[in-house]
Amino acid sequence: MKRTFNSIAKYFFPSNIGSLEEQRKAALLINFLIVLTTFSFIYLILCYFTNIIVGVWTNLIMLPSCIIALFVFKFTKSFIRSSNIAVLGLTIGIAEGVLFSGNSQSPAIPWLIAVPSFAFLLGNKKVGILWTVAVTVIILLSGLVSIFKIPIPYLFPSYLRNYILTFTLIAVTIFLGIIMTIYENTRTTMTNALIAEKNKSENLLLETQIVNQKIEAMLAELKSTQAQLIQQEKMASLGELTAGIAHEIQNPLNFVNNFSEVNKEMIAEMKEEIDHGNYEEVKLLANNIEDNEEKINHHGKRADAIVKGMLQHSRKNSGQKELTDINALADEYLRLSYHGLRAKDKSFNATIETDFDNSIGRINIVAQDIGRVLLNLFNNAFYAVNEQKNRNLISYQPIVSVSTKTINNKVEIKIQDNGNGIPQTVIDKIFQPFFTTKPTGEGTGLGLSLSYDIIKAHGGEIKVKSKEEEGTEFIIQLPVNNLS
């Protein structure tokens, strides 16, 4: 019986009911209508077999209205509409019973008095007040009919009045008890559901907070590790620079030393000429010394610039953009990278080709960052051609080239090598952090990833083209809106 009742209730329960409170109201309305339909059906059968015509008509009105209200709620989900249909059918049916069974003396009066309670229970405050007023008017009218003894057909056997009245009171009491039990059960069920939902939400919130704390700790650790790795990558590139810098700085230092020795000899010679009074020769020697001093000053500044560049490369980045000669920057890091590899492998040689567009001028960049990008790409290019050379290919000549030009309001830098190339199966991964094609221990896998981020931070883009056994070309494009 309970299973059948639950199956019927489940059938009429609309899908996608929102909150738990709405689910509680829906369960209460459906259960009320099912119970009322059952009572009406039982009453209809009893009245039919006891020949109580007025009861038959009353339940013939109430029964369809309850069924219609169930289907209306199933398909419209409207509490007000469904409850009004049910209470309307209930009121009309009971009012008809009251009218033809003694008016104010009718056994159906207890049912009529209970109607506003049903309205308040099923609908809302407005619905309850509306049907309270309607029932009050009906009771007043039935009283007036009795007072003024208005002749109305009496369709109820008088000898059954007391029995039916007693039965009605018992039925109303049982019905109200069932409805209140249903109400309390649904309220308790939904309260427990709300408590469970609240506890679940609190537990979920607590778990979320714990997870967030773990994520924050992991993020802090990741940032720390990332900073360490970036610093390691920076220091690794600085280490690769050192050999190249040593070679590059040796040239201006040799010039300084050589011209200093020459000047020393010229000064000694000038002193002799002064003693002999040969002032024309003294002037000539003085001019030569002055020229040599200019050369010493020039090469000294060159050495100073190289040292400053090394210090800037190792120093923490300020992120400050400045107008920079991109051609000079590319040429400087190209040669530093080449001599760095030469310092490690004296047998290594490669042809260096440059094609700089001198019309570019200076562009607004973070020179330290772009220099790091160029150094990384040059190191990779020389590494690739050196690997290809070590394969002892016949008539292979390593070539690394760099070119610059302006295209569509962008400065384009191309770095090309004829090394062993990048396999097509991994070319889409080369800008990912920690990915490297070099053997274990020879690369961190951060160089290209950092280069990609630096170029993107400048509003530019970096692309790669490669063919295995033919070589690789990296193309950098930087905006020239700040070109000077």
Q: Taking phi first (over 0 means left), then psi (-120 to 50 degrees means alpha), and beta for anything else, what does residue 253 get?
A: alpha
Calpha distance 237→235 (Å, rounded): 5
Give the total number of structural domains in the chain: 2
The predicted structure's pLDDT at residue 102: 66
Q: Which residues touch 217 (CB under 8 Å, ≥6 apart)? A: none
The predicted structure's pLDDT at residue 231: 58
Asked if residue 185 belongs to a domain, the reply is: no
Q: Which residues touch 265 (CB under 8 Å, ≥6 apart)? A: none
Task: Please report, for residues 180, 185, 225, the alpha-carbon distance to residue 188 in angstroms, rounded to integers and kept in the order given.
Answer: 12, 5, 54
Calpha distance 213→226 (Å, rounded): 19
Boundary (domain end) residue, out of 139, 156, 173: 156
Boundary (domain end) residue, out of 123, 156, 189: 156
Boundary (domain end) residue, out of 121, 141, 156: 156
SS in 3 state form for the chain?
CHHHHHHHHHHHCCCCCCCHHHHHHHHHHHHHHHHHHHHHHHHHHHHHHCCCHHHHHHHHHHHHHHHHHHHHHHHHCCHHHHHHHHHHHHHHHHHHHHHCCCHHHCCCHHHHHHHHHHHHHHCCHHHHHHHHHHHHHHHHHHHHHHHCCCCCCCCCCHHHHHHHHHHHHHHHHHHHHHHHHHHHHHHHHHHHHHHHHHHHHHHHHHHHHHHHHHHHHHHHHHHHHHHHHHHHHHHHHHHHHHHHHHHHHHHHHHHHHHHHHHHHHHHHHHHHHHHCCCHHHHHHHHHHHHHHHHHHHHHHHHHHHHHHHHHHHHCCCCCCCEEEEHHHHHHHHHHHHHHHHHHHCCCCCCEEEEECCCCCCEEEECHHHHHHHHHHHHHHHHHHHHHHHCCCCCCCCCEEEEEEEEECCEEEEEEEECCCCCCCCCHHHCCCCCCCCCCCCCCCCCHHHHHHHHHHHCCCEEEEEEECCCEEEEEEEEECCCCC
- Residue 59, token pair as written in the block: 């339940």
Asked if residue 276 belongs to a domain, the reply is: no
Calpha distance 176→204 (Å, rounded): 41
State the chain's mean pLDDT as an integer: 77
The predicted structure's pLDDT at residue 399: 93
166-170, 304-308, 375-379, range with the lowest pLDDT: 166-170
pLDDT in tens, 46-67: 878 877 777 788 888 888 888 8
Chain centre distance of CA 256: 60
The predicted structure's pLDDT at residue 315: 52
337: domain range? 321-484
27-41, 163-177, 429-443, range with the lowest pLDDT: 163-177
Between 176 and 388, the higher pLDDT residue = 388
Asked if residue 300 belongs to a domain, the reply is: no
pLDDT in tens, 321-347: 888 899 999 998 898 888 878 877 778
pLDDT in tens, 236-283: 555 555 555 565 667 777 777 887 887 788 888 888 878 777 878 877
- Residue 389, token pair as written in the block: 């050379």
67-76, 250-259, 282-291, 305-314, range with the lowest pLDDT: 305-314
The predicted structure's pLDDT at residue 441: 52
What number is the average pLDDT over the span 5-11? Answer: 78
The predicted structure's pLDDT at residue 480: 79
Sign of the Cα pseudo-torsion (156, 158, 164, 169, in order): positive
Chain centre distance of CA 147: 77
The predicted structure's pLDDT at residue 30: 83
The predicted structure's pLDDT at residue 327: 92
pLDDT in tens, 20-35: 777 777 887 888 888 8
The predicted structure's pLDDT at residue 182: 61
What number is the average pLDDT over the span 152-175? Answer: 57
Asked if residue 188 belongs to a domain, the reply is: no
User: Tokens 């639950």 identify what position?
Assistant: 6
pLDDT band at 475 (very low <50, low <70, confident <90, very high): very high
The predicted structure's pLDDT at residue 27: 80
The predicted structure's pLDDT at residue 391: 81
CATH (domain of 329)? 3.30.565.10
- Of the spans 219-233, 261-275, 292-306, which averages the highest pLDDT? 261-275
Q: Which residues pair with 407 in a beta bridge?
A: 410
- Of the spans 128-142, 145-159, 194-208, 241-255, which averages the highest pLDDT? 128-142
The predicted structure's pLDDT at residue 418: 92
- Of the spans 2-6, 90-94, 371-375, which averages the highest pLDDT? 371-375
Say if CB 41 and CB 63 are below 8 A apart: yes
Residue 474 has pLDDT above 90, yes or no: yes
Asked if residue 264 belongs to a domain, the reply is: no
What number is the average pLDDT over the span 113-122? Answer: 78
Say if CB 477 and CB 458 are below 8 A apart: no
The predicted structure's pLDDT at residue 75: 87
Say if CB 372 and CB 334 are below 8 A apart: no
Q: Which residues touch 144 (CB under 8 Å, ≥6 apart)? A: 150
Surface-to-core class of residue 476, CB atoms within 10 Å of its CB (0-12 exposed, 13-18 middle, 19+ buried): buried
Calpha distance 310→328 (Å, rounded): 15
Q: Which amino acid is at 414?
A: K
Say if CB 78 and CB 72 are below 8 A apart: yes
Of 144, 345, 372, the residue nearest 247 (C-alpha): 345
What number is the average pLDDT over the span 470-478? Answer: 92
Between 303 and 414, the higher pLDDT residue = 414
Task: Please report, for residues 246, 337, 464, the alpha-carbon distance to residue 239 in angstroms, rounded to integers and kept in the order given.
Answer: 11, 11, 26
Q: Compute the C-alpha angle 197/203/206, nearest 5°.
A: 140
Asked if residue 428 belongs to a domain, the reply is: yes
Asked if residue 434 belongs to a domain, the reply is: yes
pLDDT band at 169 (very low <50, low <70, confident <90, very high): low
Between 194 and 423, the higher pLDDT residue = 423
Asked if residue 61 belongs to a domain, the reply is: yes
